[in-house]
Structure 1
Amino acid sequence: MRLLSVAVLASILPAVPATAASARAGTTYYVDSRAGDDSAAGTSARAAWRTLDAVNAADLKPGDTVALKRGSSFTGPLRLTAKGTAARPISVKSYGKGPLARISGSDNDCVIIRGDNWRVSDLRASRCRWAGFRVDGRGNQLSGVRADGNVAGVQITGSRNTVRDSVLSDNSRMSVNNAGGDDDSGAFGVLLNGDDNVITGNTITGSYARSADYGTDGAAIEIYDGDRNLVTHNISRDNETFTELGARKGRTATGNVFAFNVVTSSRGRASFLVTRGPGHVVGPVKGTIAVHNSVYLPAKETIGWSCHDGCSPGILKLRNNVIIVGGEAGWEDGKGADEAGSVYQGRTKFKLGPKSVVADPRFVSRTDLRLRPGSPAIGRALPLSAAWFGGGKGRPKDILGRELDGTPDAGAYQSGR
């Protein structure tokens, strides 16, 4: 007896309504650069697609998932243009064993998210044309990703996106590097050009490159034309600058918050925070807040924070930081920054605020910025409302997840006394 094909059976049998569970689950599409085939269905590991072209051409719906096999290598870009919803995002994740799937390619950015409500995890973007991950949409999340060898590990032009628990290393290429013109640019771990984004729990290293204009350049997190971004609980090592802020004329970079970040560097030149007043070509940058950060930059050519070309309390507010440098712990002009509750070492080119002191904070080591017993940072911090930390409910927590009590310590770590 001749067996009927699946297609024939489907044409003569009555349709079975989808259950609520199956409707919610969406479809998972598999991609394997070694054993896949773009002519396959893509809906199982045994019938995986081979290239990102198949993913880019797919009509993805809310709730769908793209699963990239670990150990695979792809030529980008991966274009994520569909729109998920907050309740049913579209996901990109890994499956199998081995190293993260790697996307590279010098002709384009490697992962381009133009859609909304994507969840991208466990993926590496390496040596791309400009950005490893470019996020233009809204409500997207990168988690557990890696980016290396790019001009920008992550660039965000959209809003309400999150980058968390990721490793952005050696994004040390310049996009502009010409002698003269004061316009060199590049070597960004994260470049924020959008508003209301969250950068949290990441490790960012090696954003540092030779510059014809500046000698060296680079930033772990650069904000240019971005408002109300929250940068919190990140580890920064051996970057040129932790953060530098600016805006084009007619645009703003207002209300950005930096909290509970740990910044160290063995570089001969480094800084924590650089911002500008109205006298600068990319100023004024208004309403920047830096609270409970721990910084150790021992070389001579280093700066803790710099607020120049018309600094004022409306430009920069600092609370409860521990900033130790071999150069200038802080620098201000104009009316000066609004500063208090902090511990400094280095040259202080600013007026110390209430409860701030110049003293040895007694870090555990050059790379471990927890406080040893007897540190002057213990109990020194001023209690702050949630608004200082970008809002939110409950007590703020230090970089290890410990809640701040009624007499908090300065810096990113609470001593647990």
Structure 2
Amino acid sequence: MASYYVDATLGDDSNPGTITQPWKTISKVNSSSFNPGDKIYFKRGEIWRERLTVPSSGLDGNPITFGAYGTGDKPKISGADVVTDWSGPDVNGEYYKSGFATGPYVVLRDGSRISKGTVGSLGANEWGYDSGTLYLGFDPSSHTIEAGQRTSPITINGKSYITIENITVYGGNNRADTDAAGGNICIYGASNNIILNYITSYGCHFSGIGIGDSDVSDITISNVTVYDTLGAGIRFASGVTNSTLSNFTVHDCAMLPSDDGAGGNGGGVEIISDCDNISVSSGEVYNTGAGLTSQGADPGVAVYESTNIDITKVKIHDCYGGGAYYRSVTAGHPSSGNFVYNIVCNNGNTSMPSGSILVGLRAQGVTDARVTVNVYNNVFCNNLVDYVGQNDRMGMVYASGETTINFKNNILKDPIGDYSCYMFIRSSVTYVASNNCYHTTGSNNRWSWDFSYKYSLSEWESVSGETNSLNQDPSFVDPDNGDFRLKVGSPCIDAGTNVGLDRDFNYNPVPWGAGVDIGAFELIRRITVLSLSHNSLDCRLNKWTDLSRFHNHGVPHSGVRPCVVAPGIMGYWFDGNSGYVDCGNNKSLDIIDTITIKAWVKVKGWTGSNQLLVSKGSPSAYSLFLANNSNFRFEIRTGSGFQTLDSLVQPVSGRWYHLVGTYNRALPSDNLKVYVNGAFKNSMDNTEGVITNDEPVYVGRHPTGLYFNGTIAEPCIYNRALSADEVRENMYRSPIYRMLRGLPHSMIYTKVPWKQTQGGIYAP
């Protein structure tokens, strides 16, 4: 396994490709043969105006990786060339450049696509092309103009076990492969086991990422951003199977006037033409289809004649063609999947052409091509509901034809439009529904069954067979600003039915409370999820009792034993070699957005390695530890890696320290904080959220080792971030603090400043 480096400025293709003697061009990469496990790194801050055609395949466990090295912006691969030396203006006031052998389908001004017009009458923001000459309707002298010249700057054709990560690609000029339709990244031709990670794709003709071929499978796409494309941002087509898309953002697709009729459908994510077993999760789609005013736009997420397609935890908003659909129109080509824990809001626009069906969700099959979809725990709010130009009723959720829709635990609020209603269901549909919530602040409190309005929930339930639903305000936290969590006291709390789902939109455990909540969010009662007792009756050789209601009791292993911290106050001593406590992997410990980890710690000695105090899994979702530089640290794992916060405190052996690490994703800054002995010590920014795992929480070690040498007492985990005042209050109330102050255990806590002598804590 070898590593090769490419530097567009300082490289030379006659070099051996080492980090000190890098190659220069992608052409050199394309003409080379690589072995499984090889890595090819492009230098950050550089740009290549070439086409990367992956030349070799890896093997299972040893993929060939294309990535980045150095510092700065991600390396860029462009399908467009910079155009200079313009002439003009001509008699039409247009500027021009001749000599193009390849006609552009995309032109970018300062990095953004501009609309195509008609040569001779170009508008101020338009370009045109005729007979080898590119024209602009504005003076280009103060702009950077790039014209598309290469199809799909990254192409994978018939290759497997490939990873591409940390690269920006733009300017793709694709009109060649209509199946994959990948303007910037195109995957086709019996390719499988491909990973795309931390990719940015923008400014191209057709899709930002296009995957299409009946022999393509096992494509994993994560942590990608796609925008400013003619077609769908991300497109699976023509039989792609067994693939995933997660942690993504797609926006501003088909937004230009010239995108109308140019070949793209303008959706955010499209899965079409006999694809199977594809999961789309944890993403956002917005601002799509504005340019398609005559042909009409697809919705934000479109599933067309494809099966086992799961759309989960996706926010779809401000899409001109509506929210989402599952559709089939050709016999023998059904559609199916799960549409769960999504937010569908503010979609639809009256600029769409007559006959457009604008809804939050559309499910529509035909004879011998049935659509079957489970629609659970979604929020549909403020969507334009319209059968454009037809002056006829339409529902925020629309189902017709040969369709089965299981519809439970959803909230439908404020459908918009003169003929709008919550549900539009035809009698041909198999409709199984319960435990939904309907509400409007307007006058459209109605449903439609076979074109007949129903004006009360009881009337609707009578004709549709729906049961146990509500016609009440769901009481969102702040719907005007996109916060669709439930307020305390919402009628939707615990009012749903269990459909077998275990994580809500924010990845919180389901249910949280007496039952499942209706909507996309469980109301999380911010409580302690782990609190290991200091009571002598709770600290035993075979069990360290958890005082939270989740029973995350610790099981001691090997070189660990309970010890007396003070009369009646217990902790555990860890030997630094094999001792640890296993607190299990209850779902209450899977925390994403807000967390506090706290413990009293007394270090006995140093091992030369990190010593874990509290940690969850490997790689650790979150941890509190003594670093090998002898500082206490707090750490979480996010999509961009480990976020490690140093306490700036080096402990003294034999002294007690009160350690607290907190994380609050919702804060605008200083999301991670660390406190020592009640005093704030350090902070850092990160709003990505914790990447959790299904592994247990350990006290005193990491799953790979890294044992702690010393004593730990009162370890706690909260599913909220304690404030600075709460951190201090928590410490003052601890019997360990009172013991160290020499106060009676029964005495009310004190905030008197204190210091401690030999053998205990020192608080400056």
Please give the TM-score of this superposition, normalised by the length of structure 2.
Answer: 0.44
Listed as ranges, the matches of 1:253-268 within 5 Å are 253-265=306-318
Q: Say whether 1:239 aligns with 2:293.
A: no
- Give 1:408's aligned residue: 516
Q: Equivalent of 2:154, from 84, 94, 111?
A: 111
> Which structure is higher in strand share?
2
The equivalent residue for 2:758 is none
Q: State the 1:164 CA deviation.
A: 0.5
The answer to whether structure 1 residue 340 and structure 2 residue 408 are counterparts is yes
Residue 290 of structure 1 deviates from its aligned partner by: 0.7
- Kept in 2, the 8 Å contact 1:270–1:297? The answer is no
* Partner Cα distance (2:265, 2:491) in 1: 33
The answer as to 2:331 corresponding to 1:331 is no
Match 1:353 to one of 417, 422, 433: 433
Deviation readout 1:253-281 (Å, 9 max, x if unpaired): 1111111111121x5x232212224xx25
Does 2:294 align with 1:320?
Answer: no
Aligned residue type for 1:219: G
Q: Which residue of 1 aligns with 2:217?
A: 159
Q: Give the CA deviation at 1:308.
A: 2.8
Contact 2:31–2:55 under 8 Å retained in 1: no
Q: Report SS of the residue matched to 1:398.
A: coil
Match of 1:273 among 320, 324, 331: 324
Rounded Cα–Cα distance in structure 1 between residues aligned with 2:15 and 2:437: 67
**Residue identity in the other structure for 2:65:** S
Gaps of 5+ in 2: 80-148, 175-182, 290-298, 351-357, 386-394, 416-420, 426-430, 440-472, 526-764
User: Residue 334 of structure 1: CA displacement?
Assistant: 3.0
Structure 1, 407-416 or 223-232: larger mean CA deviation: 407-416
**1:76 touches 1:108 (CA, 8 Å); kept in 2?**
no
Following superposition, the deviation at residue 219 of structure 1 comes to 1.2
1:5-404 to 2 correspondence within 5 Å?
Answer: 26-44=1-19, 46-105=20-79, 106-114=149-157, 115-130=159-174, 131-136=183-188, 137-150=191-204, 151-157=206-212, 158-171=216-229, 173=230, 187-193=231-237, 194-209=240-255, 210=257, 212=260, 217-225=265-273, 226-240=275-289, 241-247=299-305, 253-265=306-318, 269-277=320-328, 280-281=329-330, 284-297=333-346, 301=350, 302-310=358-366, 314-324=371-381, 325-327=383-385, 328-334=395-401, 336=403, 337-345=405-413, 346=415, 347=421, 348-350=423-425, 353-359=433-439, 360-361=473-474, 362=476, 364-366=478-480, 368-373=482-487, 374-385=489-500, 396-404=502-510
- Give CA-to-partner distance per residue, 1:388-414, whole Å, 9 cap, x none: xxxxxxxx4334332222633344443
CA 1:275–1:299: 2 relative to 1, 3 Å: closer
- Cα deviation digits, residues 191-229 of structure 1 (max 9, x gap): 002111100111111123445469994111101121110
Aligned partners of 1:273 and 1:305 also within 8 Å: yes
SS at match of 2:398: strand
CA contact (8 A) 1:155 1:190 kept: yes
Percent identity between the two aligned chains: 19
Query: Which digits, 9 at most, give the CA deviation of each residue in 1:234-256, with x for residues without a partner?
Result: 11222242212224xxxxx1111
Letter in 1 for 2:508: R
Instruction: Report the Cα distance in structure 2 between the residues aligned to 1:94 and 1:365, rounded to whole angstroms.
Output: 40
Q: CA deviation at 1:292?
A: 1.3
Q: What code does the residue aligned with 2:31 have? A: A
Give the Å deviation of 1:385: 3.3
Checking the alignment, whether the CA contact within 8 Å between 2:232 and 2:264 is kept in structure 1 is no
* Bigger RCO (CA 8 Å, 6+ sep): 1
Q: Which amino acid aligns with 1:358?
A: Y
Q: What is the alpha-carbon distance in structure 2 between the residues aligned to residue 205 and residue 400 of structure 1?
A: 21
User: Paired residue for 2:662?
Assistant: none
Q: Which residue of 2 aligns with 1:177?
A: none
CA distance in 1, matches of 2:492, 2:282: 18
Report the residue type matching 1:256 in the other structure. I
Taking the aligned partners of 1:168 and 1:71, their CA distance within structure 2 comes to 20
8 Å contact kept, 1:77–1:109: yes
* Structure label with greater radius of gyration: 2
In 2, the alpha carbon distance for the partners of 1:313 and 1:353 equals 18
Specify whether residues 92 and 208 from structure 1 end up closer, same or farther in structure 2 by C-alpha distance, changes over 3 A only. Answer: same
C-alpha distance in structure 2 between counterparts of 1:38 and 1:213, whole Å: 43
CA contact (8 A) 2:51 2:155 kept: yes
Alpha carbons of structure 1 residues 153 and 212: separation in structure 2 relative to 1, 3 Å: closer
Query: What CA RMSD, in Å, does the superposition of the two structures yield over aligned residues?
Result: 2.6
Q: 1:380 to 1:208 in 2, by over 3 A?
A: farther
Per-residue deviation, 1:368: 3.1
**Are the counterparts in 1 of residues 33 and 55 from structure 2 also a CA contact under 8 Å?**
no
CA apart distance, 1:80:
1.4
How far residue 64 of structure 1 moved from its aligned partner, in angstroms, is 0.7
The Cα of 1:367 is off from its aligned counterpart by: 5.0
- Whether the 8 Å CA contact 2:334–2:365 is kept in 1: the answer is no
The one-letter code sitting in structure 2 at the alignment partner of 1:295 is: V
